[in-house]
Amino acid sequence: MTAEGGSLFDDKWNPTFNSPAGVKAAKMFAELYAAKAMPPDMTNFLWEDVAKQWMGGLVGLYSEWYGWYSYFEDPKSSKVAGKFDLARQPKGDGGVHSGWAGHHGFSLTKAGKEKEAGADLIKFLTSVEGSLVEAKLGNLIARTSVWDQIIKEAETSTDPLAKKRLELGLLQAKEDFKTPPLIAEWIPFSNIFYPIMQQIILGDVDAQKGLDDAATQTHDLMSKAGYY
């Protein structure tokens, strides 16, 4: 939907995913499913389930987060180790590269009792040393100096994707990645949207009708939460 120029909400938090861009994206998923281009039970998959389909050679193309990289390249767990490539997600009619990811973050909760210790842990995890450990596992990190270091080190790697993966990841982090809406209602919204999206994919409801229904319920949710 993003690649098609759409968005989940407008700047006043009105749901906009039932726009032509949203309907086109939803129809694409439904058409792929009907054509058997997806595993029949994919609407119930979680992250690990999708990864296992990929590593078992049952899925030939899919969108994934870089943090799985070391797992995918381990021949002990993955049949596709050393046999795949990476690419930037393409543009849609909106002229936008899609990208649904980001960097992990850390926070201190109000209820936390050991705030000083928690802050020390966060400083350790986000230090240069901690970031290097994360980066070498495949995770995307936020320190520019660490990016520079690992890309330089990758130039001498025997892994043909080592440098390409990092340069592509940095490009996407700078230009493509978008987080879910940073609102407390994200989970309640998900509980409305995703079951209806599943119905659309399965062909149980028309894309426009399903998204209109989800938009009505979402508007009610956001209204009760005080957004309007």
Model pLDDT for residues 145-203, shown as the tens digit of each residue = 999 999 999 999 999 999 999 999 999 988 998 888 989 999 999 999 999 999 999 99
Does some domain include residue 136? yes
pLDDT(52) > 80:
yes
What confidence score (pLDDT) does residue 51 get? 92
Based on the domain organization, do 151 and 190 belong to the same domain?
Answer: no
In a domain, 105, yes or no: no
Is the same domain home to 71 and 138?
no
Q: With left for phi above 0 and alpha for psi between -120 and 50, is residue 95 left, alpha or beta?
A: left
Same domain, 133 and 74: no
Asked whether residue 30 falls in the same domain as residue 90, the answer is yes
Let me know if residue 131 belongs to a domain: yes
Q: What percent of the chain has pLDDT over 70?
A: 100
94 and 185 assigned to the same domain: yes
Cross-strand pairs, 9: 15
CA dist list (Å): 65 to 68, 69, 168: 6, 8, 12
Tell me if 184 is assigned to some domain. yes
Q: Is residue 9 part of a domain?
A: no
Distance CA 157, CA 90 (A): 27
User: What is the arithmetic mean of pLDDT over 70-95?
Assistant: 93
| Residue 52 · residue 77 · CB < 8 Å | no
Contact 159, 84 (CB under 8 A): no
- Structural domain containing residue 152: 115-175
Task: Report yes or no on 3 lying in a domain.
Answer: no
Residues 171 and 185 in one domain: no
Do 203 and 168 belong together in one domain? no
Sign of CA dihedral 153, 158, 161, 164: positive
Give the rounded distance of the alpha carbon of 136 from its chain centre. 20
In a domain, 170, yes or no: yes
Provide the whole-model pTM.
0.85
Residue 167 confidence (pLDDT): 94
Percent of the chain with pLDDT over 90: 72
pLDDT at 18: 98
Within a domain: 1: no
